[in-house]
Chain A
Amino acid sequence: MSNNNNREVIVSVKHVDITFDAGTKKAFKAVKDANFDIYKGETFALVGESGSGKTTLGRAILRINPCSAGEITFEGKRISGKISREEDRNVVRCIQMIFQDPAASLNERATIEYCVSEGLYNFHLYKDEADRIAKVDRALQDVGLLPEHKSRYPHEFSGGQRQRVGIARAMIMEPKFIVADEPISALDVSIRAQVLNLMNKLKAEKDLTYLFIAHDLSVVRFISDRIAVIHLGEIVEIAESETLFEYPLHPYTISLLSAVPMPDPLIEKNRKHVVYDPSVLDQSGAPREMREVRPGHFVHCTEKEFAEYQAKASRMEKEKKG
């Protein structure tokens, strides 16, 4: 697994900066030098707190936010900046999004049938009316809803059902890549699990790749193959999911990990919460970049920290074996 070299890259984010209000006094760099590949068939998680730039970066892949430096490629072709209309249509079809708030992201004045058919209409992905209805029915059934729901309006549904409508509407496009922006954080706890299961099921059935944006490491551990931790616009650590949990190296990752609440009063009451303190980082001003500490495990660090992280990782590994 750790040998990623011969895996097919589906989305590549290359040294991307995203600046809002560029060229004005208010100019604000929301994402700094983001650099990573997402492999075909994996769930890649982008984890960070509010204001970390995770949504901004996700939307850049969807061509909603422009990049101010660097480029993004999809299946080897550049999709950031100016591209032809034809390519743009292709990107729209192949990259879909699942939104955080299902109440806000569905058109309240349209029936579920229209909401789910919207993409089909835009790309004429159906032979005739009967074919379109059949596709809508199948998409609804895929997400555990009933064909009879077609004539209903979004406000008649519960939050979980609405989110599944949002998933059906994305899936009907037969996308290759899905950006899921905190798809469960607006949902009630009891239905979060259902949506996560559904996403896993659809991924396996339809050969999808996910970019899963989240603020919560506990969810991410369950669903993702690799995780990138982003803090204030900078990616600080990327690793395979298990590796990140076993050998968290960057102090910010450790702080996030320690903040995951555990459902056990005996343990949770005595748990140590590590507060992230940037002053523990190397303050020498040496250049800081993503360095590969262990195979496939990258940490944003200076040369000096790199050595420390390497030492720490191998010590932890030894402890684990011994």
Chain B
Amino acid sequence: MDMENTNLFEFAEFDELESEHIAAPRYSYWKSVWRTFFKNKFTVGVAILLLIIIAFALIQPMISGYSPIITPNINNASLKFVKPCKDHIFGTDHVGNEVFDAVWAGARNSIIISFICTAINMLVGIPIGALWGFSKKMDRWMIEVYNVISNVPFLLLAMILSYVLGAGMRSLIITMTCTEWIFVAYFIRTQVMIIRDREYNLASKCLGTGTWTMILKNILPYLISVIMTYVSREVPSLISYEVFLSYMGLGLGTTNASLGQSIAMYTSYMNGYPHLFWIPVSVLAIISISLYIVGQKLADAADPRTHM
């Protein structure tokens, strides 16, 4: 202690506004989201794996030019049912095509379809759901619409649509969006109702803020995290829908590659050549699980409570 220094016992200068400054570094929502997301090494690993898979699925088919109806090796018995080896990474199938090519071409279509369908469902479901949750008047009749639509059996609808519209990408997308959006809307409605009556919304009302601005500025920003959680489940579940419908013969049709198509096609060789079945199933599982993990971790990172 430097007790000699009596200058210390003078009054210090005092500035009233000085104490108003905030010393903490500036907060930015999205920066914090990314920082939290990238902090976890495992998540980053899964995200990189996912990106590689997606990039590969988009590029590889362009090089291989795979199509299930082009079968140049169908008469070459030595190229059929080859087990995975150095020359044929995933082996070959019953018509002598590379399983490697089939899987990536299938993954490409499955991923594209599920992304498009998720995008449509979200773009339609979120605004409708937000309005639905906000307006008590709309809730009264919307809930009836929801009851009707949610009770239509999905498989029945898929069958009808596939007969009416024929097989193919377009009809598959319509099948997977025409009712699915209402589940998104219902989910959003419930979330909106939870935060609708919070005091800051009343404050906005007192300032004359209209419904859409309120939804955009007061409600949706609070839902980023739950919407991400929803998307992270929706994408893989739509991939499985696609697989399921293709497997049932209601999907893309035999002329297009898809993971479901491959799995359906190869099931019959399960006993003799199990790799034909397990390879597309594993790829499907890896894509779904990594999509889910990345989505969940993003949703966690989007929750400001994790930003401390």
Is A in direct contact with B (CB under 8 Å) within the complex?
yes
Residues of A within 8 A of B (CB): 62, 64, 89, 92-93, 96-97, 99, 101, 104-110, 114, 118-119, 121-123, 144-146, 148-149, 151-153, 155-157, 161, 166, 169, 173
Q: Give the distance in Å from the alpha carbon of A132 to the alpha carbon of B22 in the complex.
A: 23
Q: Give the distance in Å from the alpha carbon of A148 to the alpha carbon of B24 in the complex.
A: 13
| Residue in A closest to B22 when the chains form the complex, CB atoms | A156
**With A114-B217, A161-B20 given, is the CB distance from A152 to B207 under 8 Å?**
no
Which residues 189-230 of B have a CB within 8 angstroms of A? 198-200, 202-210, 213, 217-218, 221-222
Contacts of A101 in B (CB 8 A): 199
7 CB < 8 A contacts A-B: A101-B199, A108-B304, A109-B222, A110-B217, A110-B218, A110-B221, A119-B208
Q: Is B9 an interface residue (CB 8 A)?
A: no
Contacts of B222 in A (CB 8 A): 108-109
Q: Is B17 an interface residue (CB 8 A)?
A: yes
Which 7 pairs, one residue from A and one from B, show the smallest C-beta to C-beta distance?
A109-B221, A122-B208, A92-B208, A119-B207, A104-B199, A105-B199, A105-B203
Other than the given A64-B205, A146-B17, A166-B203, 14 more pairs (CB < 8 A) read A97-B203, A104-B199, A105-B199, A106-B200, A107-B203, A107-B218, A109-B217, A109-B218, A118-B217, A122-B208, A122-B209, A149-B22, A153-B29, A169-B207
Contacts of A105 in B (CB 8 A): 199-200, 202-203
Q: Closest CB of chain B to A211's CB: distance in Å? A: 13
Q: Give the distance in Å from the alpha carbon of A217 to the alpha carbon of B46 in the complex.
A: 61
**With A99-B199, A146-B20 given, is the CB distance from A109 to B206 under 8 Å?**
no
**With A107-B218, A109-B222, A146-B20 given, is the CB distance from A118 to B198 under 8 Å?**
no
Name, among B20, B29, B202, B209, the residue most crowded by chain A CB atoms within 10 Å (CB to CB).
B20
Contact between B206 and A156, CB atoms less than 8 A apart: no
Q: Closest CB of chain B to A61's CB: distance in Å? A: 11
Q: Is B39 an interface residue (CB 8 A)?
A: no
Q: Give the distance in Å from the alpha carbon of A61 to the alpha carbon of B29 in the complex.
A: 37
Which residues 273-308 of B have a CB within 8 angstroms of A? 304
Q: How many residues of B contact A (CB 8 A)?
A: 26
Contacts of A108 in B (CB 8 A): 200, 222, 304
Contacts of A166 in B (CB 8 A): 203
**With A92-B207, A97-B203, A106-B200 given, is the CB distance from A152 to B17 under 8 Å?**
no
Q: Closest CB of chain A to B299's CB: distance in Å? A: 16
Count A-B contacts at CB 8 Å: 84
Contacts of B27 in A (CB 8 A): 152-153, 155-156
Q: Closest CB of chain A to B84's CB: distance in Å? A: 51
| Residue in A closest to B222 when the chains form the complex, CB atoms | A109
Residues of B within 8 A of A (CB): 17, 20-22, 24, 26-27, 29, 198-200, 202-210, 213, 217-218, 221-222, 304
Contact between A107 and B208, CB atoms less than 8 A apart: no
Q: Which of A122, A151, A169 contacts B210 (CB 8 A)?
A: A122
Q: Closest CB of chain A to B190's CB: distance in Å? A: 19
Contacts of A109 in B (CB 8 A): 29, 217-218, 221-222, 304
Contact between A62 and B208, CB atoms less than 8 A apart: no
Contact between B207 and A118, CB atoms less than 8 A apart: yes
Contact between B208 and A123, CB atoms less than 8 A apart: yes
| Residue in A closest to B16 when the chains form the complex, CB atoms | A144
Contacts of B20 in A (CB 8 A): 144-146, 149, 161
Contacts of A169 in B (CB 8 A): 203, 207
Q: Give the distance in Å from the alpha carbon of A149 to the alpha carbon of B20 in the complex.
A: 9
Q: Give the distance in Å from the alpha carbon of A157 to the alpha carbon of B21 in the complex.
A: 10
Contact between B22 and A152, CB atoms less than 8 A apart: yes
Contact between B207 and A122, CB atoms less than 8 A apart: yes
Contact between B207 and A62, CB atoms less than 8 A apart: no
Contact between B203 and A106, CB atoms less than 8 A apart: yes
Q: Give the distance in Å from the alpha carbon of A144 to the alpha carbon of B20 in the complex.
A: 8
Q: Give the distance in Å from the alpha carbon of A119 to the alpha carbon of B208 in the complex.
A: 7
Q: Give the distance in Å from the alpha carbon of A119 to the alpha carbon of B204 in the complex.
A: 8
Contacts of B22 in A (CB 8 A): 149, 152, 156-157
Q: Closest CB of chain A to B99's CB: distance in Å? A: 48
Contacts of B203 in A (CB 8 A): 97, 99, 105-107, 166, 169
Contacts of B24 in A (CB 8 A): 156
Contacts of A149 in B (CB 8 A): 20, 22
Contact between A93 and B208, CB atoms less than 8 A apart: yes
Contacts of B205 in A (CB 8 A): 64
Q: Closest CB of chain B to A175's CB: distance in Å? A: 10
| Residue in A closest to B25 when the chains form the complex, CB atoms | A156
Contact between A152 and B221, CB atoms less than 8 A apart: no
